[in-house]
Structure 1
Amino acid sequence: MTFTKALITQMHQAKNPEEAVPMEKYMKNKFQYLGIKTELRRAILKKTLIQYPDEVKQNFRTIALELFQAEYREFHQCAIDIVLANIKKNWQITDQFFIEELLLQHSWWDSVDTLAKYGIGGYLKQFPSEKYELIERFSNSNNLWLKRTALIFQLGYKLDTDFELLKSECLKNIDSKEFFIQKAIGWALRDYASVNPQGVLKFVQNNPFKPLSVKEALRKII
């Protein structure tokens, strides 16, 4: 039995239809759930990983893509956990396309935000020379989630944040009517404001951002 088949078997044995109902409702019924809460899901994943260490280490990218093809959201979440645990010391220059593929499958804020920060954000720490071309490609796409990724990939960068790039991305999306874009602008600016509050305050005050973006950006400043 392969790792993927073993994990799917173990997860289905732990399904809880009653728990699945509120989980699906919370996610706007965009995904089906087995009803396995995070702590149990990660315990099952850990137990299964112990049984197939070499297979997962050597094939985690393929395994992640396989799990993203599964019907239930828990498998997508497992895929992300597997990728982030294994890719840290195994980055490849082509991983920007691998992470992009994951971003574009079953896209919603829960998967995208994690992959944006730790996937694309982690990748660009390893390959900073790819930053401008990658982010321009994402921000110029017609895909909402790639645009959001271009805005928030620097979350946690703190003093390493490229503020000029962040400002450019914010201004590029300043007229967006998309909730997830307006929210991302504010979130990214609020995160950077922890190390440069006056810079963020001045930037927000000097540009006509949407009320939601302003509220989020300045929440911890004023």
Structure 2
Amino acid sequence: MGRLTNDFEAGRDDVRAPAMEAYMRDQFPFLGLSAGARRSAARATLTGLPRPTEAELATIARACWARDEREYQQFACDYLVTHVKVPGPGFLAVADELITTKSWWDTIDPLATRFVGGLVRRHPALTSRMDDWSGSANLWLVRTAILHQLHYGTETDTTRLFTYCTRQAGHRDFFVRKAIGWALRHYARTDPAAVRSYLTAHAAVLSPLSIREASKHL
């Protein structure tokens, strides 16, 4: 973490930071690093380092989550996605911890669509945990369950996708309703007829936002 902190601090931009904080509704302080600058600094930090172990992944992710500035959590998401083939199924507990702490879309979405999605794909027994998350009281776990198959394409378990969407169709939160639309819109690239049929059958329960998002390219 020392090397990462030094490299991130070297790029601190106190002029840029307030706008980034405002964009995130002032929930997190920022160093002021753009995504490109953050990833460039991360590459410099990681050059020459060996592939991490599962334990090291957990340690680094938690250390980043303990930092105040949002760029550290964003780095941790990139790092986990890069090394998604390293951890075993037990790592889902760490993902749960990250998803439910300092939660906002900028960390949830890469964790959901790339990391948790990859973890479940490699360890299919975890699909039952996605069933649990899809009915969670925590909206970010719900969003993760709905989005975790986003990049599965023809391997998508459509029964689960549609079941999760129906289960949360009346959810009051914008981020869940948006996730339903996003997941359906993305799956429509693979099977537009199935999505069209689902929307027709569930028009009475889905929110206008979910339907509008799902229908964008149909």
Band the TM-score falls in, shorter-chain normalisation: over 0.9
Q: Which structure 2 residues correspond to residues 23-34 of structure 1 after superposition, within 5 A?
A: 23-34=20-31
Q: Which structure 2 residues correspond to residues 204-215 of structure 1 after superposition, within 5 A?
A: 204-207=199-202, 208=204, 209-215=206-212
Letter in 2 for 1:71: D
The answer for the alignment partner of 1:200 in structure 2 is: 195
Q: Which structure 2 residues correspond to residues 144-183 of structure 1 after superposition, within 5 A?
A: 144-183=139-178
Give the gaps of 5 or more residues in structure 2: none
Q: Which structure 2 residues correspond to residues 1-222 of structure 1 after superposition, within 5 A?
A: 4-50=1-47, 53-54=49-50, 57-58=52-53, 59-88=56-85, 90-131=86-127, 133-207=128-202, 208=204, 209-221=206-218
Q: Percent identity?
A: 32
Aligned length: 214
Letter in 1 for 2:102: H
Give the gaps of 5 or more residues in structure 1: none
Normalized against structure 1, the TM-score is what? 0.92
Letter in 1 for 2:119: Y
| Counterpart contact for 1:16–1:34, Cα < 8 Å | yes
| Counterpart contact for 2:178–2:210, Cα < 8 Å | yes
Whole-Å Cα distance in 2 between the matches of residues 17 and 164 of structure 1? 48
Q: Which runs of 4+ in 1 moved over 6 A?
A: none
Computed over aligned residues only, the root mean square deviation of the Cα atoms, in angstroms, reads 1.3
1:95-152 C-alpha deviation (Å, 9 max, x unpaired): 1112111111211011001100111100111011221x21122122210100111111
The offset of 1:37, in angstroms, is 0.7
The offset of 1:189, in angstroms, is 0.5
Of stretches 5-14 and 19-28 in structure 1, the one that deviates more from structure 2 is 5-14
Whole-Å Cα distance in 1 between the matches of residues 165 and 143 of structure 2? 10
The offset of 1:198, in angstroms, is 1.1
| Counterpart contact for 1:112–1:145, Cα < 8 Å | yes
Normalized against structure 2, the TM-score is what? 0.94
| Counterpart contact for 1:91–1:126, Cα < 8 Å | no
Whole-Å Cα distance in 2 between the matches of residues 13 and 195 of structure 1? 44
